[in-house]
């Protein structure tokens, strides 16, 4: 892993103005070796390993295995162990059907290799030192919607970020798809009332573990920042509407996670659940049989229910654990004092086209036909819609227009709307960014796709060269993004010497920081796209016409 070092004309001035503690690599240390480090937490002793960046403790259980009688239940306590538990390998990933983002070579960098099992409530801790230094704690929640993903792998290795910012980094796994989000409460609330949001309850269990144990690793339980990309950011937003999560984290960073902005009512998923049970041949009076069904059969039934109902696994407002979407009057008081940093990538939608490059070479006619099929409009209105997404950039190709439409309607506009509600509440600041650095791979064809900012946030850009290339720019952009995230984790304010003054978001200025090699502060960034997106209604569960290639 590439060593990340901050260069400033006046290092002492940088530390004072950013509010950061002196990063571990800027002060004298003993030589970092290959040695093992042992600590003791509330369930037993752990032995981690030190590398050139930080000390890592991997695969630590924060809840008991979730199979058998624990399936579809709230997470249960970990059984204490005797002796010293080796914590040098990632734990199992939670059961899911996909292992990567897709088949495109540019997306292969996110792959993780750990097996799937129901013994997956594990986390990983990366720390500069186990000296009870009370460092800010940065907890990453992985993406993959509510269906796939994991907190392991070399891209999510928190060592470089821990060293760079002198922070403690935590990554974790939690239950997914039907194992974590299956609304059985309308059938049997007493026995399975927790099933609808079990994945979220796992996250709360992990945060409680952090409160009890993170001081052992040099972290401050009173200064915990959540950050997550895509589904991870969405899960963070859902946590904001959960009373049990209040006080377990103190700041939040949402990277392109918009599905958590509007949490569905429990009733919305009932038909999907009923279809799932029908596929398994399980009567509503026999739900306990679900706890003995093989995991592959549950995954198969989930996929059948998704196809039939165009619905899937996601958290719901159950009146039990989730009181409302994060920006509703019911949930806003729960996170009134929590500063929020949110943002999107400039061309999120190119991610969805990476498996078929033809999507990026569409003609004017092909895009109009997609718009007509998706929105039920005529040729004239389709042409007008395309024109509206060329206000900010008249030279956009037809494919770039399509990318702008999907990016802004599904990602950027929901972020802006959430930022406005939070800012109007006036109790904690909101900061908005747009990640605009353009990958040079394939001649810049993919722009700034969904997920591109993950390796920049972790300082692991050298592990994602298939998407990012190998030029020197990636290191500078990574320093910029990590500096902002670390500053925010320390104080709730992302301002740092690597960027111009970054003002909080408000509805009048819509202040935005563009993240690039040279960052810029812009008011009402891409206002034309914002206006055009506000006139479009795109169902995130039904966008097939926009995504299907036809000659």
Q: Model confidence over 126-167: pLDDT tens digits?
A: 999 999 889 999 999 999 999 999 999 999 999 999 999 999
| Per-residue pLDDT tens digits for 163-186 | 999 999 999 999 999 999 999 999
Q: Which has more confidence, 52 or 358?
A: 358
Q: CB–CB of 59/124 below 8 Å?
A: yes
Gap between the Cα atoms of 49 and 285, Å rounded = 50
Residues 197 and 244 in one domain: yes
| Per-residue pLDDT tens digits for 290-322 | 999 999 999 999 999 999 998 899 999 998 999
Give the pLDDT confidence score for residue 52 in this predicted structure: 85
Give the pLDDT confidence score for residue 462 in this predicted structure: 95
Give the pLDDT confidence score for residue 6 in this predicted structure: 30
In a domain, 106, yes or no: no
Residues 443 and 531 in one domain: yes
Residue 11 scores a pLDDT above 50: no
**230 in active site:** yes
- The residue range of the domain holding 366 is 345-547
In a domain, 16, yes or no: no
Residue that finishes a domain, picked among 314, 338, 362: 338
Residues 295 and 168 in one domain: yes
What is the average pLDDT score of the chain?
Answer: 92
List % helix, strand, coil for the chain (3-state, nearest 5). Answer: 40, 15, 45
The CATH number linked to 461 is 3.40.50.1820
Q: CB–CB of 120/206 below 8 Å?
A: no
Residues 256 and 333 in one domain: yes
In a domain, 2, yes or no: no
Residue 471 Rama label (left phi>0; alpha psi -120 to 50; beta): beta
**300 in active site:** no
In a domain, 23, yes or no: no
Task: Give me the percent of the chain exceeding a pLDDT of 70.
Answer: 93
Residues 247 and 382 in one domain: no
List helix spans (H) across 109-158. Answer: none
Q: Which of 105-109, 167-171, 443-447 has the lowest mean pLDDT?
A: 105-109
Residues 285 and 387 in one domain: no
Burial of 288 (0-12, 13-18, 19+ CB in 10 A): middle
Which residue among the candidates 348, 359, 399, 478 is catalytic per the annotation?
348
Which residue among the candidates 230, 256, 399, 478 is catalytic per the annotation?
230
**117 in active site:** no
Residue that finishes a domain, picked among 338, 357, 376: 338
Q: CB–CB of 461/154 below 8 Å?
A: no
Task: Tell me 260's DSSP state.
Answer: G
- E-strand ranges in 315-416 read 316-317, 340-345
Residues across the chain: 551
In a domain, 14, yes or no: no
Residues 373 and 317 in one domain: no
Give the pLDDT confidence score for residue 9 in this predicted structure: 31
pLDDT band at 22 (very low <50, low <70, confident <90, very high): very low
Residue 101 scores a pLDDT above 90: no
pLDDT band at 121 (very low <50, low <70, confident <90, very high): very high
Residues 83 and 201 in one domain: yes
Gap between the Cα atoms of 192 and 184, Å rounded = 6
Instruction: Give which of 138, 68, 124 is closest to 92, Cα–Cα.
Output: 124
Q: Residue 502 contacts by C-beta under 8 Å, 6 or more apart in sequence?
A: 431, 484, 494, 495, 511, 513, 521
Give, in order, the Cα–Cα distances in Å from 50 to each of 33, 123, 165. Answer: 7, 17, 17
Give the pLDDT confidence score for residue 310 in this predicted structure: 86
Residue 272 scores a pLDDT above 50: yes
Pairing type for strands 219-229 and 135-141 reads parallel
Pairing type for strands 36-41 and 44-50 reads antiparallel
Instruction: Give which of 277, 273, 301, 169 is closest to 228, Cα–Cα.
Output: 169
- If one counts the domains in the chain, the total is 2
Residues 133 and 240 in one domain: yes
Give the pLDDT confidence score for residue 102 in this predicted structure: 67
DSSP for 344-363?
EETTGGGGGGTT-GGGGG--
Residues 324 and 391 in one domain: no
Residue 1 scores a pLDDT above 90: no
Residues 195 and 94 in one domain: yes
| Per-residue pLDDT tens digits for 185-238 | 999 999 999 999 999 999 999 999 999 999 999 999 999 999 999 999 999 999
In a domain, 17, yes or no: no
Residue that finishes a domain, picked among 277, 303, 338: 338
Give the pLDDT confidence score for residue 100 in this predicted structure: 62
What are the structure tokens assigned to 241, written together?
């509407």
Residues 309 and 427 in one domain: no
pLDDT, mean of residues 247-264:
96
Handedness of CA 326, 332, 338, 343 (dihedral sign): positive
In a domain, 217, yes or no: yes
In a domain, 426, yes or no: yes
What are the structure tokens assigned to 385, written together?
């819609």
């Amino acid at each position: 892993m590439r060593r990340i070092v901050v260069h400033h004309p006046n290092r002492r001035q940088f530390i004072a103005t950013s509010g950061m503690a002196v990063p571990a690599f800027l002060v004298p240390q003993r030589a970092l070796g290959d040695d093992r480090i042992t600590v003791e937490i509330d369930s037993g002793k752990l032995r981690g390993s030190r590398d050139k960046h930080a000390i890592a403790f991997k695969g630590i259980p924060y809840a008991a295995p979730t199979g058998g009688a624990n399936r579809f239940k709230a997470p249960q306590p970990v059984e204490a162990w005797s002796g010293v538990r080796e914590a040098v390998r990632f734990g199992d990933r939670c059961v899911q059907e996909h292992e990567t983002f897709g088949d495109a070579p540019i997306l292969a960098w996110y792959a993780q290799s750990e097996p799937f099992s129901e013994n997956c409530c594990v986390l990983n801790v990366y720390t500069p030192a186990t000296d009870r230094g009370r460092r800010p704690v940065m907890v990453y929640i992985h993406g993959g919607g509510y269906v796939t993903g994991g907190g392991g792998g070399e891209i999510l290795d928190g060592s470089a970020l821990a060293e760079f910012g002198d922070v403690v980094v935590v990554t974790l796994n939690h239950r997914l798809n039907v194992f974590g989000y299956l609304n059985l409460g309308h059938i049997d609330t007493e026995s399975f009332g927790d099933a609808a949001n079990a994945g979220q309850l796992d996250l709360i269990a992990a945060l409680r573990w952090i409160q009890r144990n993170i001081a052992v690793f040099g972290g401050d339980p009173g200064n915990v920042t959540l950050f997550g990309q895509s589904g991870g950011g969405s899960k963070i937003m859902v946590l904001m509407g959960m009373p049990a999560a209040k006080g377990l984290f103190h700041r939040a960073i949402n990277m392109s996670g918009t599905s958590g902005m509007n949490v569905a009512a429990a009733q919305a998923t009932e038909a999907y659940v009923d279809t799932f049970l029908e596929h398994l041949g399980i009567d509503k009076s026999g739900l306990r049989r679900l706890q003995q069904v093989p995991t592959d059969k549950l995954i198969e039934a989930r996929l059948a229910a998704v196809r039939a109902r165009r619905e899937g696994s996601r958290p719901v407002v159950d009146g039990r654990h989730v009181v409302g979407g994060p920006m509703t009057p019911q949930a806003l008081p729960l996170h009134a004092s929590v500063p929020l940093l949110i943002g999107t990538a400039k061309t999120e939608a190119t991610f969805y086209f990476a498996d078929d490059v033809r999507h990026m070479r569409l003609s004017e006619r092909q895009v109009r036909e997609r718009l007509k099929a998706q929105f039920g409009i005529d040729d004239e209105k389709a042409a007008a819609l395309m024109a509206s997404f060329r206000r900010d950039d008249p030279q956009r190709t037809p494919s770039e227009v399509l990318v702008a439409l999907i990016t802004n309607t599904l990602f950027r506009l929901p972020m802006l709307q959430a930022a406005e509600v939070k800012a109007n509440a006036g109790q904690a600041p909101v900061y908005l960014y747009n990640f605009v650095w353009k990958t040079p791979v394939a001649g810049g064809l993919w722009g700034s796709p969904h997920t591109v900012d993950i390796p920049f946030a972790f300082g692991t850009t050298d592990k994602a060269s298939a998407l990012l290339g190998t030029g020197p720019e990636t290191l500078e952009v990574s320093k910029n993004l990590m500096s902002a995230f670390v500053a925010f984790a320390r104080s709730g304010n992302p301002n740092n010497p690597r960027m111009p003054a970054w003002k909080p978001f408000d509805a009048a200025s819509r202040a935005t920081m563009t993240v690039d090699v040279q960052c810029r502060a812009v008011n009402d960034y891409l206002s034309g796209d914002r206006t055009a997106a506000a006139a479009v209604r795109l169902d995130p569960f039904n966008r097939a016409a926009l995504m299907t290639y036809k000659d």
